[in-house]
Amino acid sequence: MSKFLVLCLGNIGPEYADTRHNVGFMVGDYLARKHDAAPWQLGRHAFTTEIKHKGHTYVLVKPTTYMNLSGKAAAHWLSTLKLTKENMVVVTDDLALPFGKLRLKAKGSAGGQNGLKHIQETLGSDEYARLRFGIDSSFSKGRQVDYVLSPFSADEQIDLEGRLEKAAEAVLAFGAMGVERAMNVVNVK
């Protein structure tokens, strides 16, 4: 049985709960709910739970470090679970993609995303899988922070559950197929 770390990025606290920047947490919550996971437990640097799917274990991790220090949770849980970064996928928001569009990559730049930047600095590598969930970039110049820390629009909320389901399927595909084959499935849509 293979084990994977699913690092779901977001910010803790009720003021951030339903914001675009917390879509990583939303994907983790969706997976936990869909697969009847035990309640989230507070551990070092994160809330965690796990799910099993088709012979694989997925340890879901929602960092409590806030987005900009996500590398602490990545390093700690990789070490605690005795996993290599090849068995980790990071789920995060992406302003450069249209709402709900998914992009799975095996490695790459942080693309201005501070959570990915800190993970890269902490691990000393950009060679880890990341699933980017598009949150669009419909904001006025200078309003990026307000935009990412605001809830999805009413129109987006209509489609949000379906988009979270697709993201959850992408995470499971990463574990079942490996990142390269999963990219061929996830990135065509």
Among all residues, which ones are annotated catalytic? 21
Q: How many residues does the chain have?
A: 189
Query: For the stretch 51-67, what's the b/e string if a residue is b when 16 or more beta carbons lie within 10 angstroms of its beta carbon?
Result: bebeeeebbbbbbbbbb
Phi, psi dihedrals of residue 172, rounded to the nearest 5°: -65, -35
Query: Which uninterrupted H or E stretch holds 6?
Result: strand 2-8
Q: Given the structure tokens 């990545």, which residue do they identify?
A: 74
Asked if 138 contacts 147 with a C-beta cutoff of 8 angstroms, the reply is yes
**Tokens at residue 60, please?**
């879901």
